[in-house]
Structure 1
Amino acid sequence: MNDEIDKILTDWSLKEYIGVFKDNKIDADTLNLLDRDMVAQLIKPIGDRAKFLKNLSLWQNVSNDDSSLSLPLQDILNQSLDGRNILKFHKEEGVLSSNSRRKLCNLIIYDLLQEDINIRIPHEILFKYAQEIKSIFNKENASTYYVPYINNQKMKIKACAKGKLVDCLHNRKRDYRREQKNVLLDKKTADVQDNHHLELNEDLQQNLQWLKNSTEPWELVEKKWHATATFRTTELKTSDKSVAQYMAEFPVLQKPAGYQLLLLDFNHLYPGKGFLIYENFPILKNKILSYAEKKAERDSTLREIFQEKNTFTS
């Protein structure tokens, strides 16, 4: 049990007190028995004591809660391609990369918000996932992913919650609010359209012309692609353009990073659903290929793509 108290205090960024807890024969089983007076005897600095008490409160709530408020992390990882790749990478390398950490946080937050983007996520849930991350990926620190907020008026200490999970949660909700704002703006624009065709004002014409003739810098490409999204997607849905014609019209789509622009359009058309492409791609892949093969009979660009594909896979 001493090893467990070592792990707990280390995860709470309080490992300097491991010796004190061992000297007082406190292990994981007796944490629930500690009161404020006992903690004050163990941890003298007020800031460290406040941090310990907040972590202890979250730890007790998670330990005593038998209800299934969220999926176990192992299940989240096993049910998605990204999750399985993260496990595979960790098994091979023994550590997580920055990209793996980012994807790990995205998988957790997407799972928590999939039913309702506006749902309030209890601090205990983020705390629980931080502990599970440490358990599955033993070289990770729980405090990297979640450090609880502290608001102790008596001790005059106040600090916001932080960590990668907190950042990811805030970013996801911010992106959703931005997407909803774009939807409202697009709806307002659509109300003044004539047969779903936007008026080609001077700025829009210039942005479209630039995209038809330029492929860099990428930052400017994304900016102009976003600015023309409503016109391009509306026109594409109401026209008979082929894939080859659309690719030829906008050469930047033929660049290695061109697929990112298609993802931007998908998010524009279906706000909040972009991550589903990644989640369901293994399922959709064969259907996409089957549909594309039929279209390739009349589309020279698709025919060339399939010829290259067959060359590489043969």
Structure 2
Amino acid sequence: MNSANKYLQSGLSKQQADNQIINDDVCTSSHDDDEKQLLVLLQKFNLVEVLRYLKAAKVTYRSLKYMNYDDMKEAIPPLGLRMEFREKLLSWKNGEYQSNNDGMNENTSSETSTSFSLSTAISSTPLRDILSKPLRDLLNNSPEGKALILSYCENQGLNYKKRETLIKIIVEDLITHDINLKPQDYAALIDEIVSVFKTETMYRDYYYISRSSKRNPSGKLYLKYSNMRSKKMKLNVQKSNKFIHMSEMSIKIKDNSLRNASKESLRKSDHSWNEEKDTGRETFQCRGKHLAELNFSDKIFGNWAIYATPKAVSLIQSDFGMLHPGKSDQLFSKWCHFSIKIKEYYKKNVYNSNCKMFMQLLKEEGNKSIISYDTANVFITLLLCGILPPTQRFRSQNGSRTKKATIDDSQESFIMFLLNINDYKKRILDIKNKYFSSGLTIQPFLMVIGSNIQQLESFYIYFNDSLYKFDYFLVSLDICFKIYQVFKLRYPPACENPWIFLQQYFYNIENDLDAKSDKLSKLLKYLE
């Protein structure tokens, strides 16, 4: 009645006043429903305390689907709450609007901030090639890229560090192939990123922000590309000046001298990686011949300094690709099918007590709080020692007698478990004394680090006193195998059979000198 008097006093007719009261009731009801939906959602997130921040910022359940990272930063000041809310909101959006593909942008309107102006351009730009090859292929061609894809599959999203890695890979490809990226190309490029990493649709403006009038664009991808391109242009000018100077001095460089100069640049390892990749291709034949001539010792790293740097991994990848074209990605493409099928084989053919313990732990593979994805892959790999046991013998540490290698010996020489990376030198020395005759150099070792065998945290390859670190076990396994192939090394005797299996099954490489085994033949037949 009070509401009716209020509207009548304002000059409205009775009919108009009644209609206004009905509208007020509907709006109030609608507002209450929206607030209830928002509360229910936050209860599912276990983040009810965020409600007061959202209400203060006038954020409703209906408007959540438009929310981007900048909006969250403004609405939810506490960093911890914002981080947790961001991840849960992203998962909710992917589930709620999955049928709309990039659902977070489907309803984006002109109300959104200027930084979101690119979203409209992207949604209307057809997907086209900007990079030298499709982004997914580009990622699969590098250890960092493979690790990025594995991380995304496991965590259903990319963090800040992984986005920086993605940008680095993309920019290196653009610079290496001298691709001139124009402002209008960024839309298509970010479309391709989203086509591979669906959840990145929420972070489009992280990569590129267009600007109006005379202001330069912004965004991490834009800035990284601009800086790298500027450096390359300066380097090209320096090279051009150097070439002119050499021409004026009438210095003629023969092919043999050029190869020697390329070798020297790799030995010193003081050039940019893009230059070294080109040099690596040029010197592949002569470098391979030289490495084969060297007795595997410190001479290799003394002659080729690059193998003692983080760049060694990419050079090893490149060399393997030249030795065995089309086989670089075989481990990753076959692993999923293999890991499922091999478990049934293990159930019927594993008898060793340690192996049975790994089998028992593998039953918890789906529960990440008990066993991580990488740990499961370590166990699956180690169980190969149980079904392909060693047949070799080695001398005891005092040299008085020979001893047949056991399954436990095979596992120990295949993958080394450490609580702390600082312990590796003593363990390497112990294994060298235990398994290898005097005078033989230690071979590459896989090392896994973790305070608990069920939750391994980091992965390494030990190679001639150098350590290569990896984020994922499968990447370290892949690179370790390629080291054996590139340097033409023999597998450790105690775990020779598992390595030969990986070589023949995953990479389809067979050598005349491969040891023969009935159990290996049986396993390969089963996996056909």
Tell me the TM-score range normalised by the shorter chain.
0.3 to 0.5
Instruction: Identify which of structures 1 and 2 has the higher relative contact order when contacts are C-alpha pairs closer than 8 Å and 6+ apart.
Output: 1
Q: Which has the higher helix share?
A: 1
Please report the TM-score for the alignment, with normalisation by the length of structure 2: 0.32
Max radius of gyration: which structure?
2
